[in-house]
Each structure stands twice: as C-alpha cells, then as structure tokens.
Amino acid sequence: MGKLRAAVIGAGFIGPAHVEALRRLGIEVAGITASTPKSAKRRAERLNLKAYGSWEDMIADKKVDVIHNCAPNHLHYPINKAALEAGKHVFSEKPLTISSQESAELVALAERRGLLGGLCHNYRGYPLVREAKERIAAGELGQLYHIHGHYLQDWLLYPADYNWRLEVAQAGRARAVGDIGSHWFDLAQYVSGLRLEAVLAETSTALPHRLRPKGAVETFAGPAKGELEEYSVDTDDYAAFLLRFSHSVKGYCAVSQVAAGHKNDLELEINGAQSSLRWNQERPEELWLGRRDQANGLVKKNPAILSAPARALVHYPVGHTEGYPSGIMNIIAQFYRALDGDQQADYPTFADGHRLMLIIEAVLESARSHKWVTIKG
C-alpha cells in the first residue's frame, strides 16, 4: 500500500480529510491543488505538502499514481477522465459526474485502460454499518419488508448561507438529492443487498431567492458576510421519495438541507419478518435492533462482539469513539487494497457511481412528471 503515491485535488472541507486518511494509512501524499495557485499554496503550507499550480500539472506528474478528486461536481468528469487517460487510478468524491452519459463513459474508460476507479461513499466505512450488512446477509432479519429513513441538514437554512453547491453550473441540477440523497441511496442498497428499481419523487425549493458574496466561501462556513447580491435558485432544498427495491421490498426517504436543528442526520432503518435494525450517523457506534417478542437491543462498537468484516473496520478499543474521519479512511483503505490486488476489497466503484447517477436522474424525471420512474439499466 505504501508504494503508491497519491495526490489530492481540492483544498476545501473534504480534500484535507483525504490527506489525513492517506497519512494514517501510510500512503505518501505527493501534494495538493486548489481552485487557484494562491489557495493551493496556503493549504499546502498548513498540511506541509507540495502545492501544484493546477490539476493539469498534478495529473502530468509521472510520480503520482493515484488521483483523489475532491473538486466541485462539475469538475469530476473532466478531471477523472484526464487522470484515467494519463494512466492513473482515481478515487473521486461523489457524485461521479453530473450526468449518466458522463458516468457511463468513465466506467468504460477505466475498464478499457485496466485502471481502478473508486467513489467516496464513506458511510460504508463505519463498523456498525458493516455489522448491519452482515446481519442482514446472514438472515437475521428474515424476509425484508421495508427500507426507510432520512438525511437531514440545516447548513443551508438561511438566505445568506452560500456554497458552490447552490450553483447549477458547478453542482448540477440535483442539489439535496445529489449531495446527500446519493449517500442515502448508496447506503440503503449496500446494507440491504438490494437494488433500487423505481422511484416516485417530489422536490421543492424553500428558498428560491438567496444572497451570495462576491468572494469564495468554504463549505459549512456559515452565512455569507460582506457585500452580498441576490440570485435565483431552482435546485432542490428538499425531496421525498417512495421507493421500490428488488424482491418487492418497499421504502421511503426524505432529504433536506433546510431542516433546522439537524446537522448531519443520516438515518437508515430496515424492517424484516423477524426483526428490524436502525443506524444513525450522529450515533455511529450504535446499531438498534427491534424485536416483537423480546426486548429491543443496542449493539455497541465492540470488537469482541462484532462480525469479522465489521471488526476489521475498528481501530480503537471499545469505549473510544471513532467516526467520520475513520469512515473515510476505511473506504480509502479498501480501495488501496484493491490496487494491491485484493479481490475481496469492498469499496464503492465507478459502476456504483454510474448507477447512482441513473437513480438521481430518475428522481428528477419523477419530480417533473409526478409519476413512478423505473431506474434505467
């Protein structure tokens, strides 16, 4: 794992998180770049890294083996494509692209070049998420009936809350759906082992008019300050879905970025003929078990009682909390295990990212037509 050299594109919230994860894994980080040489230099100095002048310069560096793409959404496709064409493996933030046509092209390109592409759906990397998956696969819940949950945030609640995700040109047409809904869809399919087959969706924009600054604002930075200007927004603040999964399993979900009091409230519950389970990202070291004729239970992160696949994701003793950073690291570790030739490595692939783009497009089509839409492919 330590023989490969990685480099990170993007110096905002998530780029340095990738740097931290790579360093914890003992993988050499060649450097970082950002939207401007000035911001790249500033972040590189804080992280004690080399600053690349541009992502093109980084991809041209023959000493870099793996590109970590943490740029805004509209740059995922051109950067991922350029990296693959340069013979480099790619680990990309989600969504893989902003259209299924682009994502299909990347899947085909990676396969043609014999390169690996991974996607940072980091919630797969939590030990209790993997424990939930293992219990369902072992038949503990019995026949699955329903899958439901939500992903709620409030970081875009106020008119002056600003981020590039509000701009269609940088983020694409799906905002809450693409940004956090994609995480929930990935988690539901991963844990249940089922495929989402059809969706009936409704979306809404609570704040069609917002205020933005004339300078850059980092993600989660809070309301914009200084000179502001009004602009129109037509991407979704909120969306709700009725869902049909394979094997006739039904479900529902709601996502919102304007739900006051909810910071990163991702929740997934799965009900079966024998029992239920529920996991919430803000209580990541607990897995709730629901039963009819016995007392409900709570599984805590404890290597002594977890399944072997879940135990492999634990890095600290019982009672020592670990969460978001370790989830990212665990997924990146699986990707690099695959690069080392491990056929059992478990990480979100470019093919998974393509299917999620098909789901996002089906959601937008359903919201426009007010009809059930079958997921293509």
What is the per-residue pLDDT across 164-175, written as a single tens digit (0 to 9) for each? Answer: 999 999 999 999
pTM assigned to the model:
0.94
Q: Report the CATH number at residue 25.
A: 3.40.50.720
Write down the pLDDT at residue 226: 72
Residue 216 is classified by DSSP as -
Measured distance CA(141)–CA(45) in Å, rounded: 50
Last residue of a domain, one of 122, 155, 183: 122
Contacts for 260 with CB less than 8 Å, ≥ 6 apart: 154, 157
Q: Is position 325 within any domain?
A: no
Same domain as 154, residue 101? no
Count the residues in the chain: 377
Torsion sign over Cα 244, 245, 248, 249: negative
Contacts for 51 with CB less than 8 Å, ≥ 6 apart: 31, 32, 33, 37, 40, 41, 43, 44, 45
Q: Is position 165 within any domain?
A: yes
Same domain as 227, residue 195? yes
Same domain as 132, residue 100? no
Q: Is position 339 within any domain?
A: no
Same domain as 144, residue 167? yes
Counting the structural domains of the chain, the total is 2
What's the token pair of residue 50? 């080399």
For residues 174 and 235, the answer to whether their CB atoms sit within 8 Å is yes
Same domain as 131, residue 109? no
What's the token pair of residue 257? 């970025």
Q: Is position 289 within any domain?
A: yes
Q: Is position 377 within any domain?
A: no
Q: Which long-range contacts (CB under 8 A, 24 or more apart) does 279-287 make?
A: 279/126, 279/128, 279/129, 279/132, 279/191, 281/123, 281/126, 284/126, 284/128, 284/323, 284/324, 284/327, 285/127, 285/128, 285/321, 285/322, 285/323, 286/128, 287/128, 287/131, 287/132
Q: Domain of 222?
A: 124-318+349-369
Q: Report the CATH number at residue 244.
A: 3.30.360.10
For residues 149 and 184, the answer to whether their CB atoms sit within 8 Å is yes
Q: Is position 55 within any domain?
A: yes
Task: Using the structure block, give the residue that is written with the tokens 């493996």.
Answer: 89
Cα angle 70-121-117, degrees, rounded to a multiple of 5 = 65
For residues 366 and 161, the answer to whether their CB atoms sit within 8 Å is no
* 276-334 pLDDT, tens digit each: 999 999 999 999 999 999 999 999 999 999 999 999 999 999 999 888 999 999 999 99
Q: Is position 375 within any domain?
A: no
Same domain as 263, residue 143? yes
Same domain as 78, residue 191? no
Last residue of a domain, one of 122, 157, 185: 122
Write down the pLDDT at residue 49: 95
Same domain as 219, residue 137? yes
Which residue positions in the chain have pLDDT lower than 50? 1
Same domain as 111, residue 210? no
For residues 287 and 298, the answer to whether their CB atoms sit within 8 Å is yes
Same domain as 277, residue 183? yes
Same domain as 150, residue 37? no
Q: Is position 334 within any domain?
A: no
For the sheet with 238-245, list strands across it: 297-300, 286-290, 276-280, 265-272, 144-152, 250-256, 238-245, 196-204, 373-374
Write down the pLDDT at residue 219: 61
Last residue of a domain, one of 122, 157, 176: 122
Measured distance CA(135)–CA(129) in Å, rounded: 10
Same domain as 223, residue 111? no
